[in-house]
Amino acid sequence: MPSRHTHDDAPDTEQTFRHLATTPPGRERDALVAELVEAWLPLARRLAGRFRHKGESMDDLKQVAALGLLKAVERYDPDRGAFPSYAVPMVTGELHRHFRDHSWDVHVPRRVQELRNKVRSTHQDLMNRPDHPAEPDLEEIAAQAGLTLAEVHNGMEAWDSNNSLSLDADIGTAPHGDSFTLADTLGHTDPGYDLATDREAARRGLAQLTERERSILYLRFFEDMPQSRIAEEIGVSQMHISRLITRSCAQVREHTQADPRPRQAA
């Protein structure tokens, strides 16, 4: 029974794959792999085209898809179904991994993306040269890519910064040995701001009280003195102090709510 193909132009490579499965590593096997990759390259390029509107250049996407196709050719077992049903998920997965590792978490200008891609590809080309054992410096990358040093610097920064860092990500180890996250380094809202707002809001109401009433509130809420002690200081009963505190607080609250300025500050 003839094999079913995903596309009308799909090549008939079943016999080549069976030959590959019995060929040991060596030149003959490498030649068979190259032949199969070339035969199925249109499929990989079609899959790459599905991602063309995601911000990456088509040349990069085609290279990633070709890499996925190469892996599929080398790992395919002809006794386990048609090749496209095996290759399509592998090539697509390779493309998804590329976007997971290299895509941008935030929108950046197209020019920055192009600089990042050019700097990255030039860096890889220099590193792959057998006569270039060390890490290339900015001057070498600029000369090879035809860019200025400032452009290379911007491209390198974009290369290192195209992914955002989770607030829960570990970023180091504290002196006592425990790891800490990015969230641990962020500041917190100073409660003093709320305290200043509350004091300003209460200022007008406090001004309406008598000196005696203000003294009682000061002793209770600033000196944290119990009502029994305040009663002894003032020379009245504790019940009378309780009534004065309740009445004074209500009066302060009433003036605070009636004044639009504290609400605006809050």
Same domain as 138, residue 119: yes
Residue 181 in 3-state DSSP? strand
Same domain as 209, residue 195: yes
Predicted pLDDT at 265? 41
Same domain as 29, residue 91: yes
Residue 173 in 3-state DSSP? strand
Q: What is the pLDDT of residues 189-228, one digit of tens each?
A: 666 666 676 777 777 778 888 888 888 988 888 888 899 9
Give 17's DSSP letter: H
Would the pTM of this model clear 0.85, i.e. be above it? no
Same domain as 122, residue 196: no
Of 249, 220, 252, 248, nearest to 233 by C-alpha is 220
Number of folded domains that form the chain: 3
**Alpha carbons 185 and 199: distance in angstroms, whole number:** 30
Kindly state the tokens that stand for 104.
Answer: 């941008």
Residue 178 lies in a domain: no
Of 82, 41, 79, 83, nearest to 63 by C-alpha is 41
Tokens 């920064």 correspond to 157
Residue 181 lies in a domain: no
Residue 170 lies in a domain: no
Low-confidence ranges of the chain (pLDDT < 50): 1-7, 261-266
Predicted pLDDT at 218? 86
> What single letter denotes the amino acid at residue 210?
T
- Backbone dihedral region for residue 68 (phi beyond 0: left; psi -120 to 50: alpha; all else: beta): alpha
**Alpha carbons 23 and 13: distance in angstroms, whole number:** 15
Count Cα neighbours of 83 within 13 Å in the Cβ-side half-sphere.
28
What CATH code is carried by the domain that includes residue 65? 1.10.1740.10
**Alpha carbons 224 and 154: distance in angstroms, whole number:** 59
**Alpha carbons 255 and 243: distance in angstroms, whole number:** 19
Predicted pLDDT at 167? 57
Residue 125 in 3-state DSSP? helix
Predicted pLDDT at 23? 92
Q: Domain containing 77: what range?
A: 14-102
Residue 182 lies in a domain: no
Residue 145 lies in a domain: yes
Same domain as 97, residue 155: no
Predicted pLDDT at 266? 36
Predicted pLDDT at 138? 86
Residue 177 lies in a domain: no
**Alpha carbons 148 and 137: distance in angstroms, whole number:** 13
